């Protein structure tokens, strides 16, 4: 269900992100309220993201080296995303809605075909790994038909803690928090929060065991 008022915490968090298409509907969007995705600022925000993602996915110069390609793609990620840490690499192809609503920590790796519908804020911690074909769905719709006819929608944030491993073909739905130190098995559909230091698998994903907690690292 969509929220009925703005979320000051989400709006304040977005102020630290780069390339944000600020407008009334953007604030509604990241707050989980019903909003108009055809607001001009949001249309331009998605247009910008698609242009940058196309460049990212097709960038492979003839004279590229492994080192130069990593450097180039890191630079392109910094231009595309809201915030990105050091030593991050995302295999092409990579798809986003806005890009600016994604925050990634240090030492992140994603295999090919990562899709992030970042209508809500998407926060990914340090030392996180994604298998291929992972999808994060921050955007959603009401189930009432008239709402979709009117082309309004809403979104929820997604949070993935430090030291997580998300298996290939996993789908993460709006509003989910995956705690630190978790493993999500390949092919899972994550519909609810997963507590820290858990292994979860299935559709919907269920916790099947706990792992030994480790202390946090200084970043």
Check 79, 141, 169, 187 and give the catalytic one: 141
DSSP lists the bridge partners of residue 115 as 95, 135
Q: Check whether 202 has a pLDDT greater than 80.
A: yes
Q: Say if residue 42 is exposed, middle or buried (CB neighbours under 10 Å; 0-12, 13-18, 19+).
A: buried
Report the SS3 class of residue 215. coil
141 is catalytic: yes
- Tell me the per-residue pLDDT of 23-72, one tens digit each, with 9 for 90 and over: 999 999 999 999 999 999 999 999 999 999 999 999 999 999 999 999 99
Helices 24-31 and 40-58: crossing angle, nearest 10°? 70
Domains of the chain from N-terminus onward: 8-210 (2.160.10.10)
């Amino acid at each position: 269900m969509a929220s009925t008022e703005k979320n000051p915490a989400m709006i304040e968090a977005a102020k630290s992100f780069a390339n944000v298409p600020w407008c009334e509907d953007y604030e509604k969007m990241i707050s989980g309220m019903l909003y108009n995705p055809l607001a001009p600022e949001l249309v331009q925000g998605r247009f910008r993201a698609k242009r940058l993602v196309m460049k990212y996915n097709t960038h492979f110069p003839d004279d590229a080296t492994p080192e130069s390609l990593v450097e180039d793609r890191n630079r392109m990620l910094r231009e595309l995303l809201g915030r990105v840490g050091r030593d991050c690499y995302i295999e092409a192809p990579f798809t986003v809605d806005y890009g600016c609503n994604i925050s990634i920590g240090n030492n992140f790796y994603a295999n090919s075909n990562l899709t992030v519908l970042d209508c809500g804020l998407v926060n990914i911690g340090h030392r996180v790994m994604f298998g291929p074909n992972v999808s994060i769905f921050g955007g959603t719709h009401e189930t009432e038909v008239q709402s979709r006819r009117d082309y309004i929608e809403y979104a929820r944030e997604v949070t993935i803690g430090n030291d997580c491993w998300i298996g290939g073909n996993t789908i993460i739905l709006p509003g989910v928090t995956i705690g630190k130190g978790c493993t999500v098995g390949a092919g899972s559909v994550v519909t609810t929060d997963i507590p820290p230091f858990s292994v979860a698998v299935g559709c919907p994903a269920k916790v099947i065991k706990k792992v030994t907690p480790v202390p946090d690292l200084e970043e």
